């Protein structure tokens, strides 16, 4: 991924590159590109092919061109200037701040970035009010995201060089991200889920393990404690796919407590029994996931840094109730 200013207009141009795998041999360009760039609709992909913004090995092509496998697709898009997003003052939990980066502890319910259905009152809007200079950085400095109802730490770049350095560190898997979660079922010991993730083939707003068209995804987990039919886990990401932990744990048959999307029948049958613990589980209003630790090499000073954020009250209460009931 590369960024540059488009003809001095203040619009940041972003270049994304993906290589076509063997599974793309003989398939149409637009179909393969829609899988490789899952953040964008097929209609938008087709429009970019026609306009020359999406190219094969540097050359323009047609929507219906058949691929051989091994080609490089490059997608050049303009990122709207952050000035189009209103700066809106809000209370932010700033864990660390210096000239190059901010580390923020995000609460549940706060959307990270403006988008469909969330035009404002996002973390980005709050960051622009807190630090107006972020209007000159792609996506107001956001380099990785947390789901709306996931709590915890994320880093924000305050300058273009810091943004590029952090993006490259994430791609090189040099940013350590540690989470805690409560899942359904008894999961003993530790392990790794190594299963590619892509758009769900039918429900396009969801992600799924997709062996054929997904991107590589790896999640490590360790069981901290088991409580009846529930487990408290520590998790570490090697990759940062959308909904990765939620998808991987559901794939294992241990969906997160409270997950409204991937909880499946477990979510629908969440107990509302007489015990405090079961009521806490049944009434937990979001996925039980917290990004509790973040570590990386500072993009300017080169110093190894790490931060921790305590469990939010609702998750601490859930774990406390389970521990009291089952220990």
Closest C-alpha to 157, from 216, 90, 104, 215? 104
Judged on CB neighbours under 10 Å (0-12, 13-18, 19+), 298 is: middle
Instruction: Count CA atoms within 13 Å of residue 31 on its CB side.
Output: 13
Compute CA 303 distance to the chain's CA centroid, rounded to the nearest angstrom.
25
Helix axes 42-51, 29-36, angle to 10 degrees: 120
The counts of H helices and E strands in the chain are 8, 15
Task: Give, in degrees to the nearest 5, the angle at Cα 296 between 290 and 298.
Answer: 130
Question: What is the set of active-site residues?
Answer: 147
Tell me whether residue 216 is exposed, middle or buried, using C-beta atoms within 10 angstroms of its C-beta: 0 to 12, 13 to 18, 19 or more.
exposed
Judge whether 174 and 120 are in contact, CB under 8 Å: no
| Helix (H/G/I), strand (E/B), else coil: 301 | coil
Burial of 282 (C-beta count, 10 Å sphere; 0-12/13-18/19+): middle
Residue labelled with tokens 């940062």: 240
Cβ atoms of 160 and 172 closer than 8 Å: no
Are the C-beta atoms of 244 and 217 separated by less than 8 Å? yes
């Amino acid at each position: 991924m590369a960024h540059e200013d488009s003809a001095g207009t203040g619009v940041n141009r972003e270049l994304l590159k993906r290589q076509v795998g063997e599974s793309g041999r003989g398939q149409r360009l637009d179909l393969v590109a829609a899988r490789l760039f899952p953040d964008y609709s097929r209609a938008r992909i087709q429009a970019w092919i026609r306009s020359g913004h999406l190219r094969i090995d540097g050359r323009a092509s047609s929507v219906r061109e058949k691929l051989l496998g091994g080609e490089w697709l490059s997608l050049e898009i303009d990122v709207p200037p952050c000035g189009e997003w209103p700066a809106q003052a809000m209370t932010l939990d700033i864990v660390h701040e210096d000239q190059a980066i901010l580390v923020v502890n995000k609460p549940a319910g706060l959307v990270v970035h403006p988008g469909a259905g969330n035009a404002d009152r996002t973390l980005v809007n709050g960051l622009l009010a807190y630090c107006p200079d972020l209007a000159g950085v792609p996506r107001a400095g956001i380099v990785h995201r947390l789901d709306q109802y996931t709590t915890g730490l994320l880093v924000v770049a305050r300058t273009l060089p810091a943004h590029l350095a952090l993006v490259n560190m994430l791609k090189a898997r040099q940013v350590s991200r540690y989470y805690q979660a409560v899942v359904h079922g008894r999961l003993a010991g530790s392990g790794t889920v190594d299963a590619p993730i892509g758009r769900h083939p039918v429900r396009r707003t969801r992600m799924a393990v997709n062996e054929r068209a997904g991107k590589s995804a790896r999640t490590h987990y360790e069981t901290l404690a088991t409580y009846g039919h529930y487990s408290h886990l520590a998790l570490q990401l090697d990759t940062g796919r959308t909904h990765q932990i939620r998808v991987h744990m559901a794939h294992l048959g241990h969906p997160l407590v409270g997950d409204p999307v991937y909880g499946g029948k477990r979510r629908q049958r969440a107990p509302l029994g007489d015990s405090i613990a079961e009521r806490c589980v049944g009434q937990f209003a979001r996925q039980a996931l917290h990004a509790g630790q973040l570590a990386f090499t500072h993009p300017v000073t080169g110093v190894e840094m790490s931060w921790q954020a305590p469990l939010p009250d609702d998750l601490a209460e859930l774990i406390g109730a389970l521990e009291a009931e089952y220990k």
